[in-house]
Amino acid sequence: MSALLPTYARSGLTFARGEGAFLFDETGARYLDFSSGIAVTALGHAHPHLVAALNEQAQKVWHVSNLYGIPDQERLGQRLCDATFADRVFFANSGAEAVEASIKCARRYHFANGAPERFRLITFEGAFHGRTLATIAAGGQAKHLEGFGPPVGGFDQVAGFDIDAIEEVISDETAGVLLEPIMGEGGMREVPYRFLQDLRALCDEKGLLLILDEVQSGVGRTGRFYAHEWAEITPDIMASAKGLGGGFPVGACLTTEAVGQAMVPGTHGSTFGGNPLAMAVGNAVLDVVLEPGFLEHVAQMGLRLKQQLAGIADEHSEIIAEVRGQGLMMGLQCKPENTKLVAALRERGMLTVPAGDNVVRLLPPLIVDEEEIDLASRTIDAACIALKAGDAG
Ligand SMILES: *Cc1c(COP(=O)(O)O)cnc(C)c1O
């Protein structure tokens, strides 16, 4: 019996090392990693620049606490602000903490502006924002809430991307709207750009804050630094994590100056958040992601993958119902159970991630090349053929 809480349905695979887009088990068997630890190892495994940054910082100082100045935290914060809408950043250790900080910022903003009654956030069915008590309430999924007592209050969930439905639930207590520009866990569902633009306009009109959860879609994943850039809008608050540390736990809550100035000393904090080791790696990730041409590479690889997937979906319409997503955040909605395709791919040496709505997520590292994309497509094709043969037999 394992000593660990049985919270995960593990595949039983273990890995001894990784290199670029590949993982290797103890026997040396190779796996093409199109899961990236669920969009975390954005620069692949053992990226030399990240390994060097981590090693170098490890010789100097790992941790000091936010009681003291942390130069690399200032630097990473400034770089994130320079590259986005944001003026202020708070560092955390995970996606859920980044969303939690975002929720607190939204409430505190209205409190600081004389409207403490405005604390409610509008959220969306099928959303995923993490596993803390507040973020499971924000996600609103019964399977995540069950057995954990009364959900944290202050979340009003709507179905679909319908601006009239949003207007209907806005009350004097509404503080803002929280959503993922592409729903990851929910099945790689893209929010229409038009809806995001209408939402931005509505928030401006009603004095509400637009909060984006870019924990999965951010840091280059879609071919822009953050996915909302495609819709040519900016949020007031944004949660980032996953790819931001390239595999080292780093989360961040980014805000405008108007929101950020409400978070005065004592309003929020984290022991580990933004520690020197994490910040050294975060800065190294940005060195690569913000290098001229890198995001274009992601967009190009994404296009290549999308085109090939479209061909595979045409060929195997009994297996694949729909191709979704953007850049290197792609999803295959399946006709048979998605876990069957995940297993068939795993048997053929390729790692993917199931998602809601019967989707298989493809999340290659952003450094993936043409050959690896082509290998992935051949593997998916072979898995679909095998699944069809299995159904026939
Ligand atoms: C993964 C994820 C989270 C939670 O991140 P953790 O690091 O697991 O806490 C929150 N929001 C989105 C959109 C995610 O994909």
Q: Domain holding 248: CATH number?
A: 3.40.640.10
**DSSP reduced 3-state for 11:** coil
Distance, in Å, from the CA atom of 134 to the CA atom of 143, rounded to the nearest integer, reads 15
pTM over 0.85: yes
Residue 380 backbone phi and psi in degrees, to 5: -65, -40
E strands along the chain, which residues?
17-19, 22-24, 30-33, 88-92, 120-124, 155-158, 174-179, 182-183, 189-190, 209-213, 237-240, 251-255, 320-326, 329-334, 350-351, 353-355, 359-362
Distance, in Å, from the CA atom of 254 to the CA atom of 263, rounded to the nearest integer, reads 12
For residue 359, the enclosing domain spans 15-33+296-388
Q: Is the pLDDT of residue 257 over 70?
A: yes
Q: In which order are the strands placed within the sheet that holds 329-334?
A: 320-326, 329-334, 359-362, 353-355
- For ligand 1, say whether the CB of 99 is within 6 Å of any of its atoms: yes
CA of 220 to the centre of ligand 1 (A): 16
For residue 199, give both structure tokens.
């939402």
Do 249 and 156 lie in one domain? The reply is yes
Q: Summarize pLDDT for 220-256 with one digit per residue, the tens.
A: 999 999 999 999 999 999 999 999 999 999 999 999 9
Which residues define the annotated binding site for N(2)-acetyl-L-ornithine?
131, 270
- Residue 393: predicted pLDDT: 41
Q: Is residue 7 part of a domain?
A: no
Q: Is residue 116 part of a domain?
A: yes
Ligand 1, atom 6, residue with closest C-alpha: 95
CB 365 within 8 A of CB 33: yes
Collect contacts of 138-147 with beta carbons under 8 A, ≥24 apart: 138/99, 138/103, 138/178
Q: Is residue 212 part of a domain?
A: yes
Residue 225 backbone phi and psi in degrees, to 5: -60, -50
Do 139 and 159 lie in one domain? The reply is yes
CB 217 within 8 A of CB 180: yes
Q: Is residue 165 part of a domain?
A: yes
CB 272 within 8 A of CB 340: no
Categorize the per-residue pLDDT at 391 as very low, low, confident or very high, splitting at 50, 70 and 90. low
Where does a domain end: 273, 289, 305?
289
**DSSP reduced 3-state for 114:** coil
Which amino acid is located at 134 in the chain?
A: A
Give me the sign of the Cα torsion angle 198, 200, 206, 208: positive
Q: Is residue 328 part of a domain?
A: yes
Q: What is the mean pLDDT of residues 133-142?
A: 98
Categorize the per-residue pLDDT at 299 as very low, low, confident or very high, splitting at 50, 70 and 90. very high
Distance, in Å, from the CA atom of 190 to the CA atom of 192, rounded to the nearest integer, reads 6
Where does a domain end: 289, 312, 334?
289
Distance, in Å, from the CA atom of 143 to the CA atom of 341, rounded to the nearest integer, reads 23
Q: What is the dihedral of CA 330, 333, 336, 339, to 10 degrees?
A: 40
Write the DSSP string, 178-243: EE-SEETTTTSEEPPHHHHHHHHHHHHHHTPEEEEE-TTTTTTTTSSSSGGGGGT---SEEEE-GG
- For ligand 1, say whether the CB of 41 is within 6 Å of any of its atoms: no
Which residues define the annotated binding site?
95-96, 128, 131, 213-216, 270-271
What CATH number is attached to the domain comprising 307? 3.90.1150.10
- Domains in the chain, number: 2
Give the rounded percent of residues in the chain with a pLDDT score beyond 70: 99
- Residue 18: predicted pLDDT: 98
Do 103 and 231 lie in one domain? The reply is yes
Do 197 and 137 lie in one domain? The reply is yes
Q: Is residue 40 part of a domain?
A: no
Do 246 and 301 lie in one domain? The reply is no
**DSSP reduced 3-state for 342:** helix
- Residue 268: predicted pLDDT: 98
Beta bridge partners of 201: none
CA of 293 to the centre of ligand 1 (A): 27
Distance, in Å, from the CA atom of 110 to the CA atom of 99, rounded to the nearest integer, reads 17
**DSSP reduced 3-state for 157:** strand
Q: Is residue 210 part of a domain?
A: yes
Q: DSSP class of residue 62?
A: S
Ligand 1, atom 11, residue with closest C-alpha: 129
Q: Summarize pLDDT for 162-207 with one digit per residue, the tens.
A: 999 999 999 999 999 999 999 999 999 999 999 999 999 999 999 9
CA of 130 to the centre of ligand 1 (A): 5
CA of 216 to the centre of ligand 1 (A): 7
Do 224 and 273 lie in one domain? The reply is yes
Q: Is residue 393 part of a domain?
A: no
Do 206 and 330 lie in one domain? The reply is no
Q: How many residues does the chain have?
A: 393
- For ligand 1, say whether the CB of 129 is within 6 Å of any of its atoms: yes
Do 243 and 383 lie in one domain? The reply is no
Query: Closest Cα to residue 268, out of 127, 137, 128, 97?
Result: 97
Where does a domain end: 257, 289, 321?
289
Do 123 and 87 lie in one domain? The reply is yes
Q: Please give the number of the atom of ligand 1 that sits closest to the Cα of 38.
A: 1
- For ligand 1, say whether the CB of 102 is within 6 Å of any of its atoms: no
Q: Summarize pLDDT for 25-38 with one digit per residue, the tens.
A: 999 999 999 999 99
Do 197 and 301 lie in one domain? The reply is no
Residue to substitute in 185, 191, 238 for testing ligand 1 pocket (most ligand atoms within 8 angstroms of CB):
185
Beta bridge partners of 239: 213, 253
- Residue 1: predicted pLDDT: 87
Do 234 and 305 lie in one domain? The reply is no
Q: Summarize pLDDT for 316-374 with one digit per residue, the tens.
A: 999 999 999 999 999 999 999 999 999 999 999 999 999 999 999 999 999 999 999 99
Do 67 and 194 lie in one domain? The reply is yes
- For ligand 1, say whether the CB of 187 is within 6 Å of any of its atoms: no
